Amino acid sequence: MRGKSKGFTLIELLIAVVISTLVVLALGSVYRAVQDVRKRFIDYEQSRKFYDLVYLLQKQLMSCRDLRLENGTLSYYTTFGMSAPYVMVMLRLEDQKIYYSESNPYDASVVYLKREWRVPYRLKLSLRADGKALSISYGADELELYINYNAVPTSNIFLKPF
């Protein structure tokens, strides 16, 4: 005659293991889905910031002066600064980062604004041979931003003579 058992049967243990395995697998797939959505959102945000920067550059390059591209650093003067009406802009690309700064055109040590953006792809700047456009290569794509030199107003409010 059997008495009352104080333990679990083998069937009960197997059922508990199967149920806990299913719960862990479900949690793993939910975690993976959340991480995938998070990665897509971050890529979207980085792309949006990149296109905002491209829009700003296009606006600034439509009225720039003394544009130079040396050692991967783009510098120019423009009246469309984010921080002041007339600024010297320096733009540098490294790996998947964009460094942007605006400074006083008469004293480059006075920096008005510094920004850094991460983008989901490597970027490359190049100046067209005729100097009328700046190309930004990213991934397999390329953008051309047209340049309008010397459209910066030359009133004494903005400029000292060069």
Q: Is residue 4 part of a domain?
A: no
Domain membership of residue 32 (yes or no) is: no
C-alpha 109/C-alpha 43 separation (Å) is 34
Q: Is 157 helix (H, G, I), strand (E, B) or coil?
A: coil
Is residue 19 very low, low, confident or very high in pLDDT (cuts 50, 70, 90)? very high
Average pLDDT over residues 60-65: 83
Q: Which residue has the tokens 């850094």?
A: 116
Determine the structural domain holding residue 46 and report its residue range: 40-146
The answer to whether position 28 is within a domain reads: no
**N-term to C-term CA, the chain:** 109
Establish if 75 belongs to a structural domain.
Answer: yes
**Contact criterion met (CB below 8 Å) for 98 and 114:** no
pTM score: 0.65
Residue at token pair 């104080």: 6
Cα angle value 92/62/121 (rounded, 5°): 35
Q: Residue 9 pairs with which residues in a beta bridge? A: none
The reply to whether 107 falls in a domain is yes
Residue 154 is predicted with a pLDDT of 44
Is 11 a domain residue? Answer: no
pLDDT tens digit string along 88-131? 999 888 877 889 999 988 888 889 999 888 877 778 888 887 87
Question: How many structural domains are present in the chain?
Answer: 1
Contact 101, 89 (CB under 8 A): yes
Domain-embedded: residue 116: yes
**Which amino acid is located at 87 in the chain?**
V
User: Is 61 domain-assigned?
Assistant: yes
The CA distance from 88 to 90, in Å, is 7
Q: 2, 17, 125: which is closest to 75 by C-alpha?
A: 125
Q: What is the average per-residue pLDDT within 152-160?
A: 43
81 within 8 A of 95, measured Cβ to Cβ: no
